[in-house]
Amino acid sequence: MKLFHYETYEDFGKEYFLQILTFRRFALLDITVSWSDFSGDEIFPEFSLMVSSYQLFGFYIRYKRFEFDLSVITTRPRDLRWYRRNK
């Protein structure tokens, strides 16, 4: 268990990952902020609210190059070890 778990990754842009109160298959908060090298051509921002069987609440917004993703009490957090191995 880790209280804070973070990683940065660069692949066609910069991504920042933060997980709070992380176990092997659980995270209280799973946050991703990314800035892409390539912008989208959408006129309006993409926005999504999610409630599912593996997360209590999820929020996602993307506009042009910026992306923000937040999951609250999730049983499928991102595997940050993968990002560390594949830098």
Q: Taking the C-alpha atoms of 82, 24, 49 and 31 in order, what is their torsion angle to the nearest 10 degrees?
A: -60
pTM of the prediction? 0.82
Q: Containing domain of residue 10, as a range? A: 2-85
Number of domains in the chain: 1
Query: pLDDT tens track of the chain, all 87 residues?
Result: 778 888 998 888 999 999 999 887 889 999 999 999 888 788 899 999 999 988 899 999 999 999 999 999 999 888 888 877 877
Q: What's residue 50's pLDDT?
A: 93
Reduced 3-state DSSP string for the chain: CEEEEEEEEECCEEEEEEEEEEECCEEEEEEEEEEECCCCCCCCCEEEEECCCCEEEEEEEEECCEEEEEEEEECCCCCHHHHHHCC
